[in-house]
Amino acid sequence: FSTPFCKWQGSLQNENSIKLAADTSKRFFEAKGLDPQMIEFLYLGHTIIQPGSFFGASWAANEMGLNIPGMAISHACATSTNTMYSAALAVETGNLSTAYCMMTDRISNAPHIVWPNPQGPGGEVLSENVNMDNINRDPSTGSGMLNTAENVAREFGFTREEADEVTLMRYEQYADALANDRAFQKKYMFPIELKSRKSTIIISEDEGISKTSKEGLQKLRTVAEGGIHTFGSQTHPADGNTGMIITTKQKAAALSTEKVTVQVISYGYNRTKKAFMPAAPAGAVQMALDNAGIGIEALVAIKNHSPFIANDLHLGKVLGIAQARINNYGSSLVFGHPQGPTIARLLMEGIEEAVIKGGGYVLACGCAAGDSAAAIIVKVS
């Protein structure tokens, strides 16, 4: 499942993301009639530390009523890709039979860390805003993430007109998921419950999605002078969580309420040249395709994390993919980016798209901080 994503500084801004993810997971298991005691190991994917993060996966398991071990995984925007792959690898090698991937983040009100620095001038402390400082500066290059997107746009000749055109397409694709009273989203989305002493608030839909139009996009100024990206053609920070059971084929068949098999097939990774982050996914995708022994034409659903529209433009140009094939039914450009759970939600949407199409191979990929990327391919039968 994926919860709705809430734009930062919205309804989830004061919720501990690990506690909320554990509470939501517990409710999900109860709603589906699943026994959480089947889980042997918990993989916690998150990037923004919360109070209690030191205990991470073991605390999350305890909140679900489980006395099991676990581990935390953090790889910026590719966190969920690596969380799911790590769990699948453990199952495939026989180290365990059933794992649970809990992927969560709260970008709102990210922590400000202070380190003592007695030797500094006047004892001046060292400090960091965990979210904003790292978005604006990669310590390896000194470059901010927007700058990496504009570097890719310049090198590959992408224009403002292309950026606006594909951005509008992404909003139209997201609108398809809202048709018929959100019939598509309801296949995988599970509501959030926020309880207080006085009331319970239910969040069942994405929060903070901006409306857009061709004319509206054209009126926006680019963020960087001479660039192609406006605030319309890049994502917004968000809060939310996802959960996924990864187990053996036999156990999955016993648990499933539908005659659908979803098998993890392959994984790929890549690191591109410095300060060109949106160019990284193409190499990870090609590695995953090679490992799966298939070509791009074999994919029935392609999901790409899009913090900037340059990500989709680059993937399409380098791998020869029509933009209409990418990010049907939803894009992180539109519904926001909580980092830890983002690509897991994209994969779930890709799986549901594949079911509608009668099955096939699904790709979920995305860039990550440090000009890196990860990709995962599953087969829906």
Active site residues: 77, 337, 367
Pairing of strands 112-115, 41-45: unpaired
DSSP string, 12-31: TTTS-HHHHHHHHHHHHHHH
Torsion, CA 9, CA 305, CA 179, CA 209, rounded to 10: 20
- Burial class of residue 42 (count of CB atoms within 10 Å of its CB; 0-12, 13-18, 19+): buried
Q: What are the C-alpha distances in Å from 235 to residues 254, 305, 333?
A: 39, 10, 4
Distance CA 196, CA 127 (A): 33
Q: For the chain, how many residues are written?
A: 381
Question: Is there a contact between 303 and 335 (Cβ–Cβ < 8 Å)?
Answer: no
Give the pair of three-digit tokens for residue 294.
Answer: 């298939």
Distance of alpha carbon 337 from the chain centroid: 7
Question: Is there a contact between 308 and 233 (Cβ–Cβ < 8 Å)?
Answer: yes
Torsion, CA 264, CA 341, CA 43, CA 133, rounded to 10: 130
Amino acid at 115: W
Distance CA 351, CA 231 (A): 29
Query: CA nearest 222: which of 317, 155, 150, 152?
Result: 150
User: Alpha helix (H) ranges present in the chain?
Assistant: 17-32, 56-63, 79-92, 132-136, 145-156, 160-182, 214-219, 249-255, 280-292, 309-319, 332-335, 342-356
